[in-house]
């Protein structure tokens, strides 16, 4: 039995737009970042990047360390351990191209990630 995740972005659009929006230049605005953990910020950014690619606002749905640091305001000393933690838990994947490292979130984890953040936000805002 095979799962079809091709419509994961469309299916979860309304949920995703509660947490992220995509700018016209293909960057992602995580607007709940003061209410979630560093790893969750990274995951939401990567989900937003998937939407940016789908909307043809960027050519790639993977993200480099520099973009994550700049767009999320995360210092290098915090980013690297969080990325490692997410990779170790198989919550993100790493791709190396031309000696540069990029990260993306697997399509099959988009819904679970968004629902986990939604649940957390509901606990914080009863």
pLDDT digit string, tens, across residues 14-64? 999 999 999 999 999 999 988 899 999 999 999 999 999 999 999 999 999
pLDDT one-digit tens code per residue, 62-103: 999 999 999 999 998 999 999 999 999 999 999 998 888 999
Residues 6+ positions from 91 with CB-CB distance below 8 Å = 39, 43, 105, 109, 113
CATH number of 10-117: 1.10.10.10
**Count of other CB atoms within 10 angstroms of residue 30:** 21
User: pTM score, two decimals?
Assistant: 0.91
H-run or E-run covering 113: helix 110-124
Angle subtended by helix axes 38-54 and 110-124, to nearest 10: 130
Give the integer Cα–Cα distance in Å for 53 and 91: 19
- Per-domain boundaries in the chain: 10-117
């Amino acid at each position: 039995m095979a799962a079809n995740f091709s419509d994961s972005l469309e299916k979860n659009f309304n949920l995703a737009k509660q947490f992220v929006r995509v700018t016209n230049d293909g960057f992602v605005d995580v607007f709940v970042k003061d209410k979630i953990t560093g790893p969750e910020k990274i995951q939401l950014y990567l989900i937003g990047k998937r939407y940016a690619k789908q909307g043809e606002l960027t050519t790639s749905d993977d993200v480099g360390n520099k973009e994550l640091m700049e767009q999320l305001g995360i210092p290098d000393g915090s980013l690297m351990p969080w990325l490692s933690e997410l990779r170790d838990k198989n919550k993100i994947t790493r791709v190396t191209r031309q000696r540069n490292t990029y990260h993306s979130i697997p399509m099959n984890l988009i819904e679970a990630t968004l629902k986990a953040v939604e649940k957390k936000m509901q606990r914080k805002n009863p």
